[in-house]
Every structure is written in structure tokens, then in C-alpha cells.
Amino acid sequence: MADLHDAHNQWKTRALDPANQRVAPRKAHFATSSDQEIPPIALPEAAGGDERYLERLGFPGEYPYTRGIQPTMYRGRFWTMRQYAGYASAEESNRRYRFLLEKGQSGLSVAFDLPTQIGYDADDPFALGEVGRVGVSISSLEDMAALFDSIPLDKVSTSMTINAPASVLLAMYIAVAKRQGVDSTALRGTVQNDILKEYVARGTYIFPPGPSLRLITDIFSYCARSVPHWNTISVSGYHIREAGCTAVQEVAFTLANGIEYVTAALAAGLNVDEFGAQLSFFFNAHNNFLEEVAKFRAARRMWAGIMRERFGATNPKAWQLRFHTQTGGSTLTAQQPFNNVTRVTLQALAAVLGGTQSLHTNSMDEALALPTEEAVQVALRTQQIIAHESGVADAVDPLGGSYLIEALTDSIESAALAYIEQIDAFGGARRAIELGFVNREIQEAAYRYQQAVEAKESIIVGMNAFTTDEPVTIPLLRVDPAIEQRQRARLADLRGRRNAERASALLDHLKVAAQGTENLMPMLIECVEHDLTLGEICGVLRGVFGEYHPEQFF
């Protein structure tokens, strides 16, 4: 190695000598968005040296899973191709789902409207003007049944982006499956169920951290017994990245939240080898291609070490970081929207090269409106072209062993672990959030990036460079405002038909159960099966648990 090291230094001296450069460097400092230095070239030492190769990388499908969680990765099966969708009513969203399945999508991903996400029915005054706008409106079991009409729930994998009221929506999904004659043990999918990132990045929280963590661990416990193939949480870095953090911070804050959830589950008496095998993660894919590939590999290796060394898990499935990826919504521009097709392609390819298990590709029009059928078909075709035409799925770990990729993987891991040590010093992710540390770090990173964009140090093609004055002329999706009145009428009809005495008694029983310590999932399933609405159930829980107010900490 000494001769190679000397030769490298000699090369660097020659290469960096201005007299030998045909053009000046574009920048004085080349680094990733997390300020990780990118060397001109990387040597085996940067990847840990030949002696550490197997220790750091291992083989695909084996600890520490740097190279992927499956031995053959996409040579055996492609990633699940999901398109996040949902708008207006359950019936309209159902038509979109069936369209996507016909076009070759292999899994469903449900977007709920804002009232649903924060536990209000469509006829609640708080829901005024927001029903069906950014997702599908779901207030009752009848809505959920209409959403999955003619879609066999034992044949598809469904991901639901829902957090604060996740237990209620999961209860509805289980009840709909029962109506279809599908046992809960046959269900496959994911419920996001990640409340900690809501406090720092997204804002669709309801309850304070304590009772929120109780609901989360209730789902862990119930699903371990009754819905064994379900991913009980999707610990989400995606929204943290959308809020402006760097790639290193995305990994660090996401895994720190995961540590908090595992700690809470252990405190609730759950078995790490059981619930740990049902955890999943959700990451963003941005434009810095090589950094994104390395980010996914670093996160996978870190989580394996955390679960085995920190929590003593012995089940290999509990070591595996299984993750869904969505391309970066915040990277899309309203200007020149066709440029977004290229951005999404690069981001999707980075996710595939990084070993994702599931992928959503954003549509080119999403900086302007909810996607049209034409735009979402292009987004889905992007995944299919990568899978079937690019050849990258033919290799298990296409970039593994690249000196630069391995150096970046090590660098991201080291920087992210340093963040986790800081968070541990605060007392864990929950306390770091309460003290404002995570918010400040994200805000400062977002500010630095915005400064770079405004100074044109970071070029956004079509926005701060290479601009045109041509107006945007692509067709946009419009949500019918009449959906709100139709949803109100549907709820009035439901309440008129149901057994009012039984509904009232169930709400009383739910209140007592929430005041105690029992697992609430069986009670919630019973409630939705007897036509209690999302808003009514969350209203009872609000009365018992209270509501989260950020000003109590910041």
C-alpha cells in the first residue's frame, strides 16, 4: 500500500498544479450537500483497506447488509413499484388505484387528506375547505371499503401514509379485509405510524409524545400476533429531508427516531426479535447521485449494528433495514416541469443502486398540482424502464467496491453516528426534539441551502439558471369542490342508519380503555366495525390524552 500511497500523492501534486490544468476548477471546494469532501479519486485505504473489506462490506444478504438485505437483490425480484395516490372521494381514488394496477404497479400507496391525517371527519368545522384536497377523504369504514372496492387485499401490498390516527386507519383496513373474507394474517403492507418526525418536519400530529408512543407500541404488539406480515412502522426520513436537512442529517435523525421507538417498545415489554422484524424505513432520494447511493448503504449498515449491538437482537430479520424510497418532492420545479422527469429518473436510479425495497417516483407536475393520470403513468414507466431496460438490476450491488462510493459510505456513517451520539447525550430523540435541537439543525441546513441557491452556488436548472419566459401549459388535475358536500351527506346518512345507543356505549368503553393500559387495537376494530367515525374516535382520545402544543417546549 505504501507504493500506491506515494504514487497517489505524486499524481495529486501534478493534477492540482494550476500549470497543468487546462481549465480552472469550477469550485474551490468539492463536497456533498452534507459537506462531505469528495476527493479527486479514492484509494483502497479510503474504503477501509483490503484487510477490512469483508468486515465493512460483507456479502449481500448477510450482516452488516451494506450490500443489500437479499443475497441476490433484484436478480430475484424487482423492488415494489408504488405510486403514492389519493384525492377527493374514496370512489375516485379507487379508480386511480385500479388504473395504476392495470399499468403494472405492484403495490398501493394511500395519500389521505389533511382532515383525515389529523383525526377530523369531513363534516367537522376544522375540515372546511380541505376535504379531498391533498389526499382521499376517509371518515368511516364505508369510505375505506369504497377505497378498496374490487381490490383483493390478500393480493396487493398497501402502504398508508398516516401517523397520528394510524391505529384507527389500520383498524379500518383490517375490518375491510374481514368483509372481503381475508384473514388479517394474509395482509401485507405498511402503516407509516411515525409521530416523532411529525413534531419536527410535517406537523400532522394530534397527541403528545407519551400517548402517541403508546398507540405506536400497541400496533407493534397487536400486529406481531395478528398481522405478522405487516410493517408496523415506516420510520421516515423523507419528510425531514423535505424540510431542508442534509443527507447525513436524514440518516442520523431517522435512525435516532428508530432507536426511540425500539426503546419504547422494549419498555412496553415487547420482544425485540419479534417487533424488530416488522420495522421499516422511508427515505428520500435527492439529486446528488453518488451521495444518495452511499447514504442508503450507510443507513443499512448502521441499523444492523444498532439492532445487534445496542439492543441485542439475535433475529437477522430484526437487523435488516428494509426501506421505501420516494423521489424528492422539494427538488421539483414549477418552472419547466418536463425537466422534473430527468430529476426523478436520476433519483430513482440512485434509490435502486442503493438497494431500496420499494419505490415511488414523483410525477413531473407535482410542483403545480396533484398528478394527472398521464403524468403518473410517465412516473411509473420511469421505474419500469430502469428495471427492464437499464441493466442495473442485473447486478446485486452495482457500485459496491467503488473506492469513491465506499469512502462516501464510511464518511456518511461516521458523521451520522456523531449526530446520534449528540442525540443520546440529550436523552434520546424525543428529548432532543422537545429541546428544539433537531428543529434548529434542520432550519440551519435549509437556510444554508437557500443561500447557495440565491447566490447561484447551487444551480437549479430552469429556476435560477437556464430560464425561459414560456408559460406552463401542461394540463393540471382539479379537485371538484363538491366533494365536501357529498362527504358531509354521506356521514349524515351513516349516523342516521347506525345503532346510536351502541355507538354511544362503544365510545364510553373506548374512553375507559384509553384511560387504562390495555392494547387499544381490538377496541378500535370493534368501534369502526360498528360505524364509529374517525373523528368520533379521535375525539375521545383527545379528551383522554390531550393535544400536543409545540410552544410547551420551544
> What are the per-10-residue average pLDDT scores of the chain (554 residues)?
72 79 78 85 61 70 93 91 91 95 92 98 97 96 98 96 98 98 97 97 96 97 97 97 98 98 97 97 97 98 98 98 98 97 98 97 96 96 96 92 92 97 98 95 97 96 95 90 95 97 98 98 98 98 95 48
Look at residue 554 in the predicted model and tell me its pLDDT.
40
CA distances to 58, 279, 294 from 50, rounded to whole Å, are: 12, 33, 19
Distance CA 291, CA 294 (A): 5
Name the grid cell of 269. 415489554
- The alpha carbon of residue 494 and the mean position of all alpha carbons in its chain are separated, in whole angstroms, by 34
Question: Contacts by 527-530 with C-beta closer than 8 Å and gap 24+?
Answer: 527/171, 528/140, 528/141, 528/168, 528/171, 528/172, 528/175, 529/141, 529/175, 529/178, 530/498, 530/499, 530/502, 530/503, 530/506
Sheet holding 279-285, edge to edge: 230-231, 188-191, 157-161, 107-111, 80-85, 358-360, 323-327, 279-285, 233-236
> Exposed, middle or buried: residue 51 (CB in 10 Å: 0-12, 13-18, 19+)?
exposed
pLDDT the model gives residue 553: 44
> Residue 301 corresponds to which cell in the numbers above?
449498515
Q: Name the 3-class secondary structure at 361.
A: coil
Looking at residue 44, what is its pLDDT? 65
DSSP 192-230: ----HHIIIII----S-HHHHHHHHHHHHHHHHHH-TTE
304, amino acid identity: A
Residue 197's alpha-carbon distances to 192, 241, 263, 278, in angstroms, are: 11, 10, 16, 19
Q: How far apart are CA 245 and CA 50, in angstroms?
A: 34
Yes or no: say if 286 and 331 are a contact pair by the CB < 8 Å rule.
yes
Angle made by CA atoms 166, 168, 170, in degrees to the nearest 5: 65
CA distance 440 to 426: 14
Cβ count near 515 (within 10 Å) = 11
Q: Which residues are paired to 189 by β-bridges?
A: 158, 230
Residue 265 grid coordinates: 417498545
Q: 46 is written with which cell numbers?
A: 479510503
In this structure, are residues 144 and 176 in contact, taking their beta carbons and an 8 Å threshold?
A: yes
Query: How crowded is residue 29: how many other Cβ atoms within 10 Å of its Cβ?
Result: 8
Looking at residue 357, its amino acid is Q
Q: Which pLDDT belongs to residue 334? A: 96
User: Residue 192 corresponds to which amino acid?
Assistant: Q
Task: Give me the phi and psi of 408, to 5 degrees please.
Answer: -65, -40
Strands 157-161, 323-327: pairing kind: unpaired
233, 192 in Cβ contact below 8 A? yes
CATH superfamily to which 54-454 belongs: Methylmalonyl-CoA mutase (3.20.20.240)
Residues in contact with 284: Cβ distance below 8 Å, sequence separation at least 6, in sequence order: 237, 238, 241, 242, 250, 325, 326, 327, 328
Cell numbers representing residue 353 in the block? 443502486
User: Which strand (E) or helix (H) includes residue 159?
Assistant: strand 157-161
Give the Cα separation of 202 and 438 in Å (integer): 13
Where residue 109 falls (left for φ over 0; alpha for ψ -120 to 50; beta otherwise) is: beta
